[in-house]
Amino acid sequence: MSESLSSHIIFGEGRNTLQQLQQESENPILVKFVAPHCPSCETLAPVLQQIVTDQAGKVHMVTIDMTEDPELAMALGVRSAPTVVLFKKTTVLERIAGLKPKILYFEAVQKIVSRSQ
């Protein structure tokens, strides 16, 4: 069977994209929960963008606005923005709440990507 279309998505948005990737892709998914007017989210954005770009297609990133999808945020225990949740399929592998040192995001993604190779 040929690869589905969604596995080519590197940067996506919203719950639907997340669910589609969870069903169709074997690669880890970095979900970034943000909120409007959240300065820490803006600070983190270019860092995650770079980390995911550097992984050259081995990890997906999905951005979710927690004010638009509070149910999903609550269900995953997300209470503050930004929060990063790393998934393999529907399994949560790691959760980083609040703005943390850059190296933490880098190492978490690195670890999960190398584990899933």
Partner 1 sequence: MPIAKLVIIGSGPAGYTAAIYAGRAQLKPIVFEGFEAGGVPGGQLMTTTDVENFPGFPAGIQGPYLMHQMRQQALRWGAQCMTDDVVDVDFSQRPFRITAAEQVVYAHAVIIGTGATAQRLHLPGEEAFWNNGISACAICDGASPLFKGAEVAVVGGGDSAAEEALYLTKYARKVHLLVRRDRLRASKTMQDRLLNHHQIQVRWNCIPLSSHGDDVLRWIRVQDVPTGAVSELPLSGLFYAIGHTPNTQLFQNQLMLDQAGYIQTNGKSTATNIPGVWAAGDVQDHHYRQAITAAGTGCMAALEAERWLAEQTAGSILAAA
Positions annotated as catalytic residues are 38, 41
Q: Please tell me the distance from the alpha carbon of residue 10 to that of residue 40, in angstroms, as a whole number.
A: 22
Residue type, position 72, single letter: L
Residue 29 or 99: the one with the smaller Cβ distance to partner 1 is 99
What are the residues whose beta carbons fall under 8 Å from the beta carbon of 83, sequence distance 6 or more?
32, 33, 66, 73, 95, 96, 97, 98
Q: Please tell me the distance from the alpha carbon of residue 104 to that of residue 117, in angstroms, as a whole number.
A: 20
Residue 80 or 110: the one with the smaller Cβ distance to partner 1 is 80
Which spans of this chain sit near partner 1 (rule: CB under 8 A)? 37, 39-40, 43, 46-47, 70, 79-80, 99-103
**Least distance (Å) between residue 46 CB and partner 1:** 8
Distance of CA 10 to the CA centre of its chain: 10
**Least distance (Å) between residue 39 CB and partner 1:** 4
Residue 8 or 79: the one with the smaller Cβ distance to partner 1 is 79
**Least distance (Å) between residue 51 CB and partner 1:** 13
